[in-house]
Amino acid sequence: MARTTKFYRIGEPLKLEEVDIPHINDNEVLLKVRAASMCYSDIHVITGAIPVRGPVTLGHEIAGDIVEIGASVKNVKKGDRAIVHFVTPCSDCYFCLSGKSNICMNINSTPMYGFSVDGGYADYIKADSARIINLPPTIPYDFGASLGCAGITAIHAVNSIGRVTLGDIVAVYGTGGVGMYVLQLAKLSGADITIAIGRTEEKLQLAQQKFGADGTINITKERLHEGIKRISTGKGVDVMFDFVVNRESVENSIRVLKNSGKLILVGVVNDQVIITPKRITLKEVSVVGSSVGSKNELQLLVDLAEKRKLLGVTSVRHRLDQVNEALRALKEGKIIGRGYIDPLMQ
């Protein structure tokens, strides 16, 4: 027997249950979960903003040990440490064939671990071996887990969509785990100045002291355009990453872009925003979306982490039976960095 936690219905806490250890198919592997880090999308599932059909185990940032492999699995072996790429691109649609598998046309009808099929808030998870990447022994499980969504979302936004380059002035609106990865990856891409924008002094300090932000703006104390002017010595921003995506963040972000600057929307939000077209037209700025990332990008992150060019953003460790308390703390903004479930924690 093994433990899992199930999402049943909108608004209800996850339910801890005893189940059989999952049986794997020939193409699958069984992972003993060692860390499942917590993404704000889980809150969106529980509140109904992201529609998911229960019962299902949430948790899409997953690392563990491979304890069993199916008969046709060739790419990994029993005993390997591994992480999961939680989406399953079809590999055959126009976008997959154009190297944009993260926006695969069939992404909502193929398995999505932690959303449409069981994820990592459990003792065990089974997954298609094609979605598995080896995790080198030098990378802790919790760090590896967080690369699965926070990491790939950041690297795709910085590298493929933002195309951050030498000398850029980059700003990150929102100081959660993804923002902390964006700050580091922007520096690795050659950004000259990186700026963290948020409301919580502790998170802003962490962004500066640990993750390389050159300046911070606490928008409860300073207006965005004044802060940007101060830190960029009046130049403005080349690439702004917005993880908040509300009326205030979008409107104000467009105003602080340089001519030809880019605003990358990363937060998954339904709210309406107001855009003043002339601010886009006259400055030739772009407003563009960025959605998760590809398996290649996940592998690149693992390589960067192995070479110690990237620092992990996980912080608080929780027991599996504390999953609801942990999600509540995440919802209330109390988690600095990224919390994670460790099923082996007593």
Binding site for Zn ion (CB under 5 A): 39, 41, 89-90, 93, 96, 104, 149
CB of 41 vs Zn ion, minimal distance in Å:
4
CB of 268 vs Zn ion, minimal distance in Å:
9
CB of 21 vs Zn ion, minimal distance in Å:
26
Rounded to 10°, the helix 224-231/247-256 angle is 40
* DSSP class of 20: P
Supply angle C-alpha 58, 61, 66, rounded to 5. 100
Nearer to Zn ion, 96 or 193 (CB): 96
CB of 223 vs Zn ion, minimal distance in Å:
31
- Helix, strand, coil: what percent of the chain each, to 5? 30, 25, 45
CB of 38 vs Zn ion, minimal distance in Å:
9
Using CA atoms, how far apart are residues 304 and 151, in angstroms rounded to an integer? 11
Nearer to Zn ion, 96 or 157 (CB): 96
Within a 10 A sphere around the Cβ of 85, how many other Cβ atoms? Answer: 28
Nearer to Zn ion, 64 or 119 (CB): 119
Nearer to Zn ion, 75 or 91 (CB): 91
Using CA atoms, how far apart are residues 59 and 338, in angstroms rounded to an integer? 13
CB of 241 vs Zn ion, minimal distance in Å:
15
CB of 209 vs Zn ion, minimal distance in Å:
25
DSSP string, 302-331: HHHHHTT-S---EEEEE-GGGHHHHHHHHH
Nearer to Zn ion, 96 or 313 (CB): 96
Nearer to Zn ion, 40 or 169 (CB): 40
CB of 267 vs Zn ion, minimal distance in Å:
11
Using CA atoms, how far apart are residues 211 and 180, in angstroms rounded to an integer? 6
Using CA atoms, how far apart are residues 127 and 60, in angstroms rounded to an integer? 11
State the sign of the Cα–Cα–Cα–Cα dihedral 43, 143, 325, 173: negative
At residue 67, the 3 state secondary structure works out as: strand
Helices (H), the chain: 41-47, 94-97, 141-146, 152-155, 177-188, 201-209, 224-231, 247-256, 277-281, 295-306, 323-331
Nearer to Zn ion, 286 or 291 (CB): 291
List the structure tokens of 340.
């994670």
